[in-house]
Structure 1
Amino acid sequence: MTGSVDKDDVARVWKLIDDIDVCMFTSHDGAKLRSRPMSSHARQSENAIYFLTDVEGHKDQEVAANSEVVLSYAKPGSGKFLAVTGRARVLDDRVLIKDLWDKDAEAFWEGADDPKVRVIEVVPDEAQFWEGPHGVVATVQMVIAAATAMPPVMGDQRKVDLR
């Protein structure tokens, strides 16, 4: 981890979360890790990433037993990847649930007042992003690197402190 916080990198992380939206939410299931895709609701002003979840799911118990989680974001074909580590907790905050409610949530619950709906709040500790060329540009760079015996220029990657 670098010593200082780069505000541009912090803003870049939050923008990547907004742009990609769906992540693989990884939590501890005892000694095992369990991942599942979830739609995130990022709020940089609150330093939190929120997820709507069901009280009957395993995530609630997993987060209660071990709050450390990893959120893995990737945008296919874009060359954009992001991993966020943080601490999670489950909330039964009806106002927040209504505020986060969207059309996607309607596929899973009767409405924002459904008593089974909960919120998982993740407060991020750090992130690492990778953004680089993709498609034809990446292929050309790989060919040039192979021909010149030089490593390819594959874009930016950095660790970012979000605390």
Structure 2
Amino acid sequence: MSRQEVDEEGNIWYLFSSESNTFQHLKVNPKVSIQFAHVSDYNFLSVNGEAEVSSDKETIEKYWNKMMEGWFEKGKEDPRIRVLKFIPFEAKYWDNKTNKLATVFKVALSAISGQSLDIGREGKLDF
């Protein structure tokens, strides 16, 4: 799935298929965790929240784009299209102050020496 928007309230929007494993899982449990990564800088974000699923035509129209055509052969009218609104309630981040190579070196040095080195920042964000 590809993120369509993060709205003013912090909700994250997606279009996806009712035939997907994600849809089947959400029918059982609407609790969701989403991870974002900027791997080259070793920065990571993990967001926990709850999902709401709909087939609202206006929202599908709002988020429809060329990329979606590859997934839904019948276009915007495809009955399999679902809208996922992800409502976050907690997030954790890991933000390194240095590049990937320096971080790997610091982790290795810390493991060998037993010293606690400043590898980066981490924290929690509450909504």
TM-score range, shorter chain: 0.7 to 0.9
Q: CA deviation at 1:155?
A: 1.4
- Measure how far apart 1:139 and its partner are: 4.2
Pairing partner for 1:155 from 104, 120, 127: 120
2:49 alignment counterpart? 86
Q: Which residue of 2 aligns with 1:18?
A: none
Match of 1:138 among 95, 103, 108: 103
TM-score after normalising by structure 1: 0.66
Structure 2 runs not aligned, ≥5 long: none
What's the RMSD between the two structures over aligned residues?
2.3
**How far has the Cα of 1:145 moved from its partner?**
4.8
| Percentage of identical aligned residues | 28
User: After superposition, what is the alpha-carbon deviation per residue over 1:92-121, rounded to whole angstroms, capped at 9, x for unaligned?
Assistant: 111111211223212201322322211111
Higher Rg:
2
- In 2, Cα distance between equivalents of 1:121 and 1:139: 36
Partner residue, 1:126? 90
Aligned: 1:100 with 2:60: no
Amino acid at match of 2:84: I
SS in 1 for 2:76: coil
Alpha-carbon distance in structure 2 between the residues aligned to 1:148 and 1:92:
56
Which of 63, 68, 72 does residue 26 from structure 2 map onto?
63
Task: Provide the C-alpha distance between the structure 2 equivalents of 1:99 and 1:159, rounded to a whole number of angstroms.
Answer: 32
Q: Which amino acid aligns with 2:46?
A: A
Conserved 8 A contact 1:64-1:89: no
Provide Cα deviations, 1:14-72, integer angstroms capped at 9, x if missing partner.
xxxxxxxxxxxxxxxxxxxxxxxx21233241331111111222322321221111112
Secondary structure in structure 2 of the residue aligned to 1:61: helix
Worse overlay, 72-81 or 145-154:
145-154
Please list the CA deviations of residues 57-90 of structure 1 after superposition, one character each: whole Å capped at 9, or x if unmatched: 2322321221111112222222111111111121
Partners of 1:68 and 1:146 lie apart in 2 by 35
Aligned equivalents of 2:85, 2:112: Cα separation in 1:
48
SS at match of 2:16: strand
Cα separation, partners in 2 of 1:114 and 1:81, compared to 1, 3 Å:
same
Q: Which runs of 5+ in 1 are unaligned?
A: 1-37
**What TM-score do you get using the length of structure 2 for normalisation?**
0.81
